[in-house]
Amino acid sequence: MKAKQIKARIISNQRRNGNYGHLEFESTVIAQQAQPGQFVNIKVNNTWDPLLRRPISIHGVSGSKVKIIYEIIGKGTQILSQRRPGEFLDIIGPLGHGFDCLRPDKSGQHKNIIVAGGMGVAPLVFLAEKLKLSKPLVLIGAATKKQILCLQEFKALGCAIKIATDDGSAGFKGRVTDLLNIVLGQVKPGSLFSCGPQPMLKAVARIACENKIPAQLSLEAHMACGVGACLGCEILTKTGYKSVCKDGPVFGSEELAW
């Protein structure tokens, strides 16, 4: 399906948990086409500054509504947080190659495990919704309790959830990948799905390889065009360089050369 450039009306834009924004916009065309793991590229205001669009994952769709969540970390996301309901955003989407939801085992014999690190949780709620018949187990990792996002959304989908925090303020004390290793001592999953910081994804890829479990990883990269034209987001795979925006952001862990 082809991505579209649209002017989308903002339905709501709320600040939550301090530094996070939850924004809903209206777009039948994006809502109908979006797959978990795909993203939209947003022009956050109507001027040339900032020049580049900001890539943000599709967090969910409902009817003609599309939901995103974002962390306010710099100029672009700060401006985005100030946009009001009723205003219009210039958006291109849905972009990229999302998770392959047909690959996981749906027999119920093998659980699918979703591993989320920090803001990487954003596309994984949409994925959990698509996989909910297989009752995925969700491992959420964050630095501290206050930074655990989307817990209620995963609960509402009937997912089993385990938490890891670096400081031990909630759940397992340590890295979410250490928790994954413990869980794999008890459960043999059909597939792993993950999104988060690159060191975490590298660890998930290594664990998947050691345990011979297929894994799909959603990568982040600094992007400009978002459509594979500028070569600004290339990564090395076993079959040469590929663009994260067009060939990804989701890759099979076995494809990546790291």
- Contact residues toward ligand FES (CB under 6 A) are 223-226, 228-233, 243, 245
On the 0-12 / 13-18 / 19+ scale of CB atoms within 10 A, 127 is: buried
Nearer to ligand FAD, 213 or 215 (CB): 215
Nearer to ligand FES, 150 or 244 (CB): 244
Task: Please measure the distance between the N-terminal and C-terminal CA atoms of the chain and give it in whole angstroms.
Answer: 30
Nearer to ligand FAD, 74 or 168 (CB): 74
Bond prior to 199 in cis (omega within 30° of 0): no
The total of other beta-carbon atoms located within 10 Å of residue 88's CB is: 14
Among ligand FES, ligand FAD, none, partner that 11 touches (CB below 5 to 8 angstroms by kind): none
Nearer to ligand FES, 80 or 233 (CB): 233
How large is the C-alpha radius of gyration of the chain? Answer: 18
Interacting residues with ligand FAD (CB under 6 A): 39, 54-57, 68-71, 73-77, 119, 122, 220-223, 249
Q: Taking the complex as a whole, how short is the minimal distance between the CB of residue 110 and ligand FAD, in angstroms?
A: 28
**Residue of 115, 124, 174, 122 whose CA lies nearest to 144:** 174
Among ligand FES, ligand FAD, none, partner that 230 touches (CB below 5 to 8 angstroms by kind): ligand FES
- Amino acid letter, residue 60: G
Q: Taking the complex as a whole, how short is the minimal distance between the CB of residue 220 and ligand FES, in angstroms?
A: 12
